[in-house]
Every structure is written in C-alpha cells, then in structure tokens.
C-alpha cells in the first residue's frame, strides 16, 4: 500500500459532470470568476461540430471553453458541453493540478478519432 499523504483537503479543483445530452462537465473557474479574482485571461473556444469524433458519433452539438491565465498559460478552468466531456475534463484537471501550460495539451498527439484530439484545435489561442 502506497501512502502519498493525499487526502480530501489536498484536492484542488474538483471536476463535475452532468450526464445530459450532450454531457456538460466543468472544473475550476468560469470566465467571470477568473476576471473577478483579478486574472488576466485568454479564452479558448471550439464548437463541438469541429471535432471529427463528434461527427462520427453524429453528436456535433455543443461547445468547449477553457479559461487560461494569460501570464502563465496555466488553465484556470473549463466548461465542456459535448460528447464524452466527462472523460475529457479529467485531462484538463490533471493539467491544472500539475500547473502545466495549456500548450502541453495542445501539442500532445492523440489517437484519431477521439474527442480529446479536440485539444489540438481548442488551444490555438
């Protein structure tokens, strides 16, 4: 058994999903919350209809939106309203918790066709 000292109080942003059609998932700050707290932000948006996997699934409805700290390029939050958003949000949370630049997700090579390959186009901000 591995004890890393991880517990609920050490959790950072908690992702959540609503299993509607299409699913809605979010994590971290919204655009309004980030501005209110004082962040200078960049906003990345992509219609789900631009994702090849969404077309294959015949589920092109929705929008992906990610809030980025303009000074550090770290992801502050995301709202994904698209098929398989409940899986994609976990990659964004991992990037947030690890203080990774959004460019890491943007420059990753994803299998095709998958919903997560949308990150290649979403993060062209």
Query: Are 27 and 77 contacting, i.e. CB atoms less than 8 angstroms apart?
Result: yes
Residue that has been written with the tokens 């015949």 in this structure:
58
Catalytic residue list contains 99: no
Beta-carbon contacts of 94 under 8 Å, excluding residues fewer than 6 positions away, are: 100
Q: Which of 20, 112, 113, 124 is catalytic?
A: 112
Strand order in the sheet with 75-81: 16-18, 24-28, 75-81, 63-69, 41-47
Residues assigned a catalytic role: 112
């Amino acid at each position: 058994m591995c004890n890393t000292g991880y517990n609920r109080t050490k959790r950072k942003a908690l992702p959540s999903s609503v299993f509607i059609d299409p699913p809605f998932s979010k994590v971290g700050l919204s655009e309004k919350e980030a501005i209110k707290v004082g962040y200078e932000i960049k906003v990345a948006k992509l219609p789900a209809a631009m994702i090849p996997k969404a077309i294959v699934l015949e589920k092109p409805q929705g929008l992906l939106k990610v809030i980025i700290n303009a000074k550090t390029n770290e992801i502050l939050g995301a709202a994904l309203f698209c098929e398989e958003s409940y899986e994609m949000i976990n990659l964004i949370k991992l990037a947030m918790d690890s203080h990774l630049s959004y460019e890491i997700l943007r420059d990753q090579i994803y299998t095709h066709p998958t919903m997560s390959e949308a990150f290649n186009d979403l993060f062209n901000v």
